[in-house]
């Protein structure tokens, strides 16, 4: 079962599909690394950019005000 972090993320340019993403839910993998899933390709992308996923994307946390 996937564990959600309760955080939301956005990016101006997805490294996988080159599109803008907003409001993506953070999840934890088995190694406790936070990731989101690209809405177009349905592939995992790590938030911190480390690990085997080589698609570099700058993720920014969406802060509720």
Q: What is the pLDDT of residues 2-50, one digit of tens each?
A: 799 999 999 999 988 999 999 999 999 988 889 999 999 998 888 886 5
Question: Among residues 45, 48, 50, which one has the least CA distance to residue 19?
Answer: 45
pLDDT over 70 (residue 51): no
Res 64: pLDDT: 77
For the entire predicted model, the pTM comes to 0.82
In this structure, how many other beta carbons lie within 10 angstroms of the beta carbon of residue 26? 17
Backbone angles phi, psi at 29, to 5 degrees: -90, -175
In this structure, how many other beta carbons lie within 10 angstroms of the beta carbon of residue 33? 15
Instruction: Report the length, in residues, of the chain.
Output: 65
Largest CA distance in the chain: 34
């Amino acid at each position: 079962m996937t564990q959600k972090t309760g955080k939301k993320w956005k990016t101006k340019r997805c490294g996988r599909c080159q599109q803008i993403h907003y409001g993506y839910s953070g999840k934890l993998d088995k190694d406790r690394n936070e990731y989101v899933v690209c809405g177009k390709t349905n592939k995992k992308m790590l938030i911190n950019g480390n690990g085997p996923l080589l698609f570099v994307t700058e993720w920014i946390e969406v802060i509720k005000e």
